A and B are shown apart, each in its own frame.
Chain A
Amino acid sequence: MAGRIPEALADACADVSEAGPGDAVAGVAPRFVARPAGVTEAAAVLTAASTLGMTAVPRGSGTRLAWGVPPTGCDLVVDTSRMNKVLEHAAGDLVVRVQAGVGLDQLADVLAKAGQRLALDPPAAAPFPGPANGASTAHPPHGAGTIGGLLATGAAGPLRLRYGTPRDLSIGITVVRADGTVASSGGKVVKNVAGYDLGKLFAGSYGTLGLIVEAAFRLHPRPAATSFVTLDAADRESAAAVTALVASSPLAPSAVELDRPARREPFRVGVLLEGDTEGVAERTARMTELLGSGSTQPDPPAWWGGGAAAAADGTLIKVAFWAADLARVLGAVDAAAVSAGIDPAVGGSAAAGVLYAAVAEGAPASAVARFVTDLRAEVGAGGGSMPGAPPHRGSAVVLHAPAEVRAAVDLWGPVPGLGLMRAIKDQFDPQHIMAPGRFAGGI
């Protein structure tokens, strides 16, 4: 599989090795792994790769490397683990600038010293076997992933209700294009409308437009106190009603999560309140009163934010919808699951209109495919006709799945604006060498 390292590649980067079995990307074995130490080396690597006509897949710590369609080509893995410096933390400005390989845990430690945080909490996941565990890795793998991987996958957790997703907190980005051109947009000030915002375009682009090498983010103060109010809801309707009640309350919840491990079990509803100590205590009391029941704890319940972490070896589906559609979407999940003969766990940021369905490993691929297809049709329909609304008002995307399931169903489903996305890909990467085939519509 591997071969002698091409001279141009070896010249471009001090750390290039032949790939091992642990370097496979969603089952596709690369020939080489390059670990550039910074922007200059990263640009040289991609210049060399494009000259050699090699396909390249970016990799952080591998946390979400199995997300997306397996690449149609993967000659080279560009590993960001040596680009792991926090370049600038301007605490007074609540801004941080980092290299792409910086781990979220590593960054959190740095920011915590100043009483700050990057208000994104994607679920930590066990790294997929191997990729970043090689002996030459300069930094250990990070359970929650790297900044580059976070941006590339657009991953977010419960805090998305209040703070959004990586694209919302990103204020500047530096990327290397497929041909080695280095480009930046934005900067290190929060308010800035000069030029196009490439950060938005690269957030959630799965490595298909280029390699993210640096990024700047807006930060927030770490709350002095947190409180989790949890209660059980017997059925879908009451879970949806509680979610709507909390979301419409004036109590400024930072997150509202649902979780149900199996169909026969009740829904667990959790509300996160953050702020100063007194304020959180007051709002916790008011929230409990509003809900009429519920228990309170300062730390997250064990199930909190677990939706996207579930089923590392199974199938994980992200369902997005308009919040008012929650009860109907939960009904659609159950109907599709019953009809397919499976029992996925369901959970996620219900008030923000994002849920995850996790099907355990071992479910027949045809059943999972049927579940996804049925669910997609129902979710996309939205809650019936609404004047002026888009044709699809929701989506069901398979984030990762075993090979048999991937073969049986389109992971992405319908994507609005796909023609424009293809045109963008063709502009940024005309040779289609960056993570080819991983994205929607074969991009």
Chain B
Amino acid sequence: MTAQATPGTAGAARAVQGAGEVAGAAIDALVPRMTEICGRGGVLTDPAELATYECDGLTSHRCSPGLVVLPTTAEQVAAIVAVCARAKIPFVARGSGTGLSGGALPRADGVLIVTSKMRRVIAIDQESRRAIVEPGVTNLAVSKAAEPFGLFYAPDPSSQVVCSIGGNVAENSGGAHCLKNGFTVHHVTGLEVVTPDGELVWLGDGTGAAPGYDLVGAFIGSEGTLGIATKIIVKLTRIPEAVTTLLAAFRTMGAGGAAVSAIIGSGILPAAIEMMDALAIEAAEAAVACRYPEGAGAVLIVELDGPADDVRRETEAVRAICEKEGAYEIRAAHDAAERTAIWTGRKSAFAAVGRISPAYIVQDGVVPRTALPEVLDRIAELSAASGVRVANVFHAGDGNLHPLVLFDDAVPGAEEAAEEVSGAILDLCIAHGGSITGEHGVGADKSKYMPKMFGPGDLDTMQLLRCAFDPAGLCNPGKIFPTPRLCGEVPGVRREPHPLVAAGKVDQF
């Protein structure tokens, strides 16, 4: 759970540091070799520097890494991993460190491999609508690079200005517009990865129709537990001819929810449908003065994109639906500046909550869209019964809730109360046939909820995949699965020299 600005829950992570002197000595022994691979500037050993990597976007989980390396090439990543594999030292990959589930939480007895120096957009093929990028490239940088060709990279997590494509691959990131465009897994067609034994291998071939098992699909969303992506082939999408953003204000959440159902029921597929409740609006107003209509119990943001005539007609249809469902004010944005004005409140909502509460937990549960009204009612009941305030900001189109559970970390017991409400919200999601995470990942944070969503056979089978990639369990261990599976020796496993050893040599960069 994300408890920002609350150092209180770091205790569990600290225990990892009890790995002891032996691990420390083993890691120290790696430093000369790592320095050979990455250069002196590419290896961090100073405790003060290491501490800056002690958490990702989930600040409640902290652990200083044993060692940080900053490779600049795929070959360096492969060499680093090979060193770790030989020494049986765990390693964790990290991109920009914006993840919200502790997926990049380091290990005191391990090496943190930071890809932030690998940030080249290597090639763009306009006609194939593909780009080849390194993992440290930011999400937005890919779209910026593609823009002159009339193309963009569709997945757009809220952190897109800073989050890395490598991290997006690990988490199968979505974003507000994934309602129409899909997730990272729908927009990546090839991956060069370093396997957990230090081999450099291509998964897929960039076509999106490579023969064999869909290793690209299996790798995306595996939260860094199957290897480290060193090159990513992304699909680019044509920039739509027209984009219109509507903001509709409703007196109640129920009315807003009814409008969402009516829009989807009409056969229109908007690029995004977002919703905020009164408390979230209040926070956004306090933080960025987004000037949403006064007195709103709920605001709905609906974005439509596509051919100009279609967008014009769909905009009118959505406007009519919102009016019918009781919207008392509707604003339409037709250009980038107007759109930004509407989106500002929504995009700042998480941070803005800091204005109305000293600390908060963000959840990421998902429910079937039709269950939204009931689940929101139940969340309100939970909030009323416990006295814990909950602000709701969510991707209404796909039922992905982001309840912000507010608390004052200066008040004894407040955090525990908030965590209880937060956990109860996840239970609600599971009970309604949903998921514990829509886009933030399981990471270190939610692995304890996995057995509530999946049975032992499910978790065991998922870990067979893990065993195929990482039988030694060194690659980002302790994430996703509450109980690691022992892989054992499987007779007959054959590993071939990958065909890229030679190709690595002809790399022109």
Interface residues of A (CB under 8 A from B): 90, 92-95, 115, 154, 164-165, 167-168, 175, 177, 181-185, 187-198, 200-201, 203-205, 209, 220-222, 224, 244, 247-248, 250-252, 275-276, 278-279, 282-283, 286, 318, 320-325, 352-354, 386-395, 397, 412-424, 426-428, 430, 439-441
Complex CA gap A109/B201 in Å reads: 44
CB contact under 8 A between A182 and B457, given known A250-B307, A419-B498: yes
Interface centre among A92, A189, A222, A392 (most CB of B within 10 A): A189
Q: What is the minimal beta-carbon distance from A151 to any residue of chain B, in angstroms?
A: 11
Query: Within residues 125 to 174 of chain B, which ones have a CB less than 8 A from any CB in chain A?
Result: 125-130, 132, 150, 171-172, 174
One of B83-91, B216-224, B407-415 at the interface: B216-224
Structural contact, A325 and B128, CB atoms closer than 8 A: yes
CB of A195 within 8 A of CB of B459, answer yes
Cα distance A397–B209 when bound, in Å? 10
- Number of B residues near A (Cβ < 8 Å) is 109
Contacts of A182 in B (CB 8 A): 457
Per the bound structure, the CA–CA distance linking A209 and B439 in Å amounts to 27
- Chain B positions within 8 Å of A220 at CB level: 269
Among B123, B127, B214, B440, which residue has its beta carbon within 8 angstroms of that of A201?
A: B214
Q: Does B190 contact A (CB under 8 A)?
A: yes
5 extra interface residue pairs, beta carbon distance < 8 Å, beyond A191-B435, A388-B231, A391-B500: A195-B458, A324-B128, A416-B204, A419-B494, A427-B487
B47 is an interface residue with CB less than 8 A from chain A: no
Closest to B441 in A: A193
1/0 per residue B90-106: CB within 8 Å of A? 00000000000000000
* Residue contact A192 to B366, C-beta cutoff 8 Å: yes
- Which residues on B are within 8 Å of A, measured CB to CB? 122-123, 125-130, 132, 150, 171-172, 174, 178, 182-183, 185-186, 190, 192, 195, 201-215, 217-218, 220-222, 231, 233, 238, 240-241, 261, 264-265, 267, 269, 306-310, 313, 366-370, 395, 398-400, 433-442, 446, 450, 453-455, 457-462, 464-469, 480, 487, 490-496, 498-500, 503, 507-509
Complex partner residue of B202 from A193, A247, A391, CB under 8 angstroms: A391
Q: Which of B174, B368, B450 contacts A90 (CB 8 A)?
A: B368
Nearest to A415 among chain B residues (CB) is: B212
Q: Which residue from B195, B267, B453, B493 sits with its C-beta under 8 Å from A422?
A: B493
**B460 & A181 in contact (Cβ 8 Å cutoff):** yes
Q: Are A168 and B461 in contact (CB under 8 A)?
A: no
Residue among B210, B265, B440, B461 with the highest chain A CB neighbour number at 10 A:
B461
Q: How far is the CA of A286 from the CA of B308 in the complex (A)?
A: 12
Q: What is the distance, in angstroms, from B220's C-beta to the closest C-beta of chain A?
A: 8
Report chain A residues within 8 Å CB of B306.
252
Given known pairs A181-B457, A420-B469, the reply for A204 and B214 (CB within 8 Å) is yes
> In the complex the two chains form, is B496's CB within 8 Å of A419's CB?
yes
Which residues in B have their C-beta under 8 angstroms from that of A193? 171-172, 174, 183, 221, 435, 437-442
Q: Which of B205, B220, B436, B441 contacts A390 (CB 8 A)?
A: B205
Quick one: given A92-B261, A184-B458, A427-B467, are A397 and B211 in contact (CB under 8 Å)? yes
B465–A201 touching, CB < 8 Å: yes
Shortest Cβ gap from B444 to chain A (Å): 14
Q: How far is the CA of A411 from the CA of B260 in the complex (A)?
A: 49
Minimum CB distance partner of A222 in chain B: B267
Contact call B454/A390, Cβ cutoff below 8 A = no
Q: How far is the CA of A372 from the CA of B382 in the complex (A)?
A: 64
- Contact (Cβ within 8 A) B240 A250: yes
